[in-house]
DNA sequence: TTGTAAGCGTTATCAA
DNA sequence: TTGATAACGCTTACAA
């Protein structure tokens, strides 16, 4: 094994002081062109790379961002995180950041992990996924002055039990302080899916989603409802809410089809639900454009995951790569795309 | 924000020297019980956690292990990595290690990334997935004395063009120096799938996999061939090789069914191929037990991903948490499970 | 058993 | 524009 190349090695090789080498790297404008060129040449020749650990001790920044990896729930929607992670890793690396993974059983466990990661590894920031109503994580991070971005907008404080109708999802419930987030417009997605079915001649279009109060679910339901409303169509009784899963989707679809005036097509809030519904209904759309949708030829709403990941990194940089007071948080709402099959 | 808690804070609080605090953490047996208890209490009260960066500077160990995250190819088999990653993150964290992600376009790019990660972040080890014939990564890592484990056994040097028949996959081709690896016995999986079909009364069981020379593919083919041989059945002409994909699976299945004496059932090397084959053949098994297989009710071979991940960490610890000369590398071959549907 | 001193590789401060 | 010095928080060697 060769000697470890440190900044001292480079300094000796280029016949300058350590500090000058450091300046070439961190404040190039302070160094004369000729000197800089010589130093850069030495760096190249010696294959020098600054030690993150040493740099971190001095600057307090680790250039590490953390993301939670969840146990793929039903496997169908799980690959969404997979693609998001890949995009995140790629974009982060071009910005000089690395992604570290962590797991947690629930929100409380996740917060304990924040504490641990921050104290021992000095993590620079967190990317949170799967935001939901009553999410306690963002308040904790904000309260501890930890930079973070969520993939998924804030859905408000507590689940509101009695809120059936209306468009509750559109109110981003009184989050104490807004934070940076990136999200995909789920309502626009289900609206597009509904429009697609309407264009195909359907008039009775049903919806299968999750029970009211789930934020993401309410949003997707609202998109369907809006699209139906704009077409002047009645939606009374055409909506079902159930937990996620293939069998649940089939059951809910059966119920809808048993109505006196049943739907002829169904928009679903997930590919899992859609797959189940398809067993009993010909015209069904799913959500997330997972491999299952592609494999079974189901029309589905596709989220622009790589772009969402890129935006998260972008927002993070705005938070991190600055010396002044933090900018006002930014929010990004991306449009999904309907993949017609 | 409270003051940063360092080892000095703890020392003051417990009325001992910094060194004693360090000893409590790293060499508890050197400290008197009473003192140790007092120090631990202070650590608890102050919520102290040793700074990884400072520790790393002294010890040269980062307690970080790296894994590549691949762009989900066809999405169907992609979720395998997802589940493996989750298991890895979980097990690693209980051993005090964190998982960092990286991407790479190909083997050469991956090696460049090793260089970068090692030089700047002092990574402790790598976990390699998707081993293949002619894999240049292991030689590089071994040559640079970097600890690593592969998920997937070494498949030998170069793809061997003219090797059609036999059981080439069973020869783990002259790897210069064996290394630690964990793998799942693919041949056992396809053998089980074949056995399942034979038990159902089939006598002509075909196989659709990838072109010869791919290591993993040859192994899975060998399992089918062995099972057929043990049952005294002829396999001549019953095997097809194609690139992965649903349509490719369908095409290969059509070809097999067009034979004079066609198969009545087909074992496939992936769920993608299986899904395609199923369009034209009733009795088909897949491989990987992905969400697609579950959703479409296809029998498939399931890999014990969490266990594989755990074993990888176990092997890594053997390599890392030792002071003497490294142990002889260990290899772990896990048995898959057939999920009958 | 506990304390003192040195040093890991970097960057911020300040003087030349 | 460049260089000397100190400091970040920790652990290893050695002295008390």
For chain A, which residues score pLDDT lower than 70? 1-3, 73-78, 158-177, 322-327
Give the Cα separation of A291 and B77 in Å (integer). 9
Q: Which residue's CA is nearest to the C1' of nucleotide C5?
A: B19
pLDDT at residue B75 in the model: 64
The residues pairing with B287 across neighbouring beta strands, listed in sequence order, are: B301
Chain B touched by A10 (CB under 8 Å): no
How far does the CA of residue A337 sit from the closest CA of chain B (Å)?
Answer: 18
Instruction: Round to a whole number and report the distance in Å from the CA of B19 to the C1' of C1.
Output: 12
Instruction: Round to a whole number and report the distance in Å from the CA of B31 to the C1' of D12.
Output: 16
Q: Which residue's CA is nearest to the C1' of nucleotide C6?
A: B58
Chain A touched by B294 (CB under 8 Å): yes
pLDDT at residue B253 in the model: 98
In Å, what is the CA distance from A296 to each residue of A275, A293, B292? 8, 5, 9
pLDDT at residue B74 in the model: 66
Average pLDDT of chain A? Answer: 90
Q: Which residues of A touch B90 (CB under 8 A)?
A: 103
Closest CA to A23 of A9, A35, A15: A35
Which DSSP state fits B3?
P
Please give chain B's pLDDT, 341 residues, in tens: 456 789 999 999 999 999 999 999 988 888 888 899 999 999 999 999 999 999 999 999 999 999 999 887 666 666 788 889 999 999 999 999 999 999 999 999 999 999 999 999 999 999 999 999 999 999 999 999 999 999 999 998 765 554 444 444 444 444 456 899 999 999 999 999 999 999 999 999 999 999 999 999 999 999 999 999 999 999 999 999 999 999 999 999 999 999 999 999 999 999 999 999 999 999 999 999 998 898 899 999 999 999 999 999 999 999 988 654 566 778 999 999 999 99
Query: B214 by DSSP, 3-state: which?
Result: coil
Could you read off the pLDDT of A117-154 as tens digits, one per residue?
999 999 999 999 999 999 999 999 999 999 999 999 99
Cross-chain Cβ contact A53/B62 below 8 Å: yes
Q: Which nucleotide is nearest to A19 (CA to C1')?
A: D3
pTM of the model: 0.91
Q: Which residue's CA is nearest to the C1' of nucleotide C12?
A: A58
pLDDT at residue A162 in the model: 43
Under 8 Å between Cβ of B183 and B103: no
| CB < 7 A contacts with chain C (nucleic strand) | A 4, 6-8, 18-19, 22, 25-27, 48, 50-51, 54-55, 57-59; B 16-20, 23, 30-32, 34-36, 54, 57-58
pLDDT at residue B171 in the model: 43
pLDDT at residue B70 in the model: 87
Looking at the partner chain, which of A50, A103, A294 has a beta carbon nearest the beta carbon of B86? A103
pLDDT at residue A148 in the model: 96
pLDDT at residue B172 in the model: 45
Q: Is A82 left (phi over 0), alpha (psi -120 to 50) or beta?
A: alpha
Cross-chain Cβ contact A116/B49 below 8 Å: yes
The residues pairing with B184 across neighbouring beta strands, listed in sequence order, are: B334
């Amino acid at each position: 094994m060769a000697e470890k190349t440190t900044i001292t090695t480079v300094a000796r090789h280029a016949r300058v002081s350590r500090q000058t080498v450091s300046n070439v790297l961190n404040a190039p404008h302070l160094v004369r062109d000729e000197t800089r060129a010589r130093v850069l040449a030495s760096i190249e020749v010696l294959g020098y790379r600054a030690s993150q650990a040493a740099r971190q001790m001095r600057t307090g920044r680790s250039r590490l961002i953390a993301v939670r990896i969840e146990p793929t729930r039903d496997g169908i929607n799980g690959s969404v995180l997979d693609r998001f992670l890949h995009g995140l890793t790629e974009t982060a690396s071009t910005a000089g950041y690395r992604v570290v993974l962590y797991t947690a059983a629930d929100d409380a466990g996740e917060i304990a992990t924040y504490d641990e990661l921050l104290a021992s590894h000095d993590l620079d920031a967190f990317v949170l996924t799967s935001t939901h109503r009553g999410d306690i994580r963002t308040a904790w991070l904000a309260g501890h002055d930890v930079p973070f971005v969520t993939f998924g907008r804030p859905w408000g404080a507590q689940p509101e039990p009695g809120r059936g109708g209306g468009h509750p999802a559109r109110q981003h419930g009184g989050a104490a302080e807004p934070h940076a987030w990136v999200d995909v417009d789920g309502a626009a997605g289900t609206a597009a899916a509904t429009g697609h079915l309407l264009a195909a001649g359907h008039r009775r279009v049903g919806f299968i989603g999750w029970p009211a109060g789930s934020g993401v679910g309410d949003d997707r339901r609202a998109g369907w409802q809006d699209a139906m409303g704009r077409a002047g169509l009645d939606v009374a009784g055409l909506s079902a809410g159930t937990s996620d899963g293939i069998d649940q989707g089939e059951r809910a679809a059966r119920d809808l089809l048993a109505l006196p005036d049943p739907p002829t097509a169904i928009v679903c809030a997930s590919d899992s639900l859609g797959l189940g519904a398809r067993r009993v209904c010909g015209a069904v759309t799913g959500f997330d454009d997972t491999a299952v949708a592609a494999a079974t030829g189901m029309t589905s709403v596709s989220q622009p995951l790589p772009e969402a990941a890129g935006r998260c990194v972008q927002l993070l940089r705005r938070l991190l790569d600055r010396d002044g007071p933090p900018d006002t948080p930014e929010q990004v709402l991306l449009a999904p795309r309907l993949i017609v099959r």
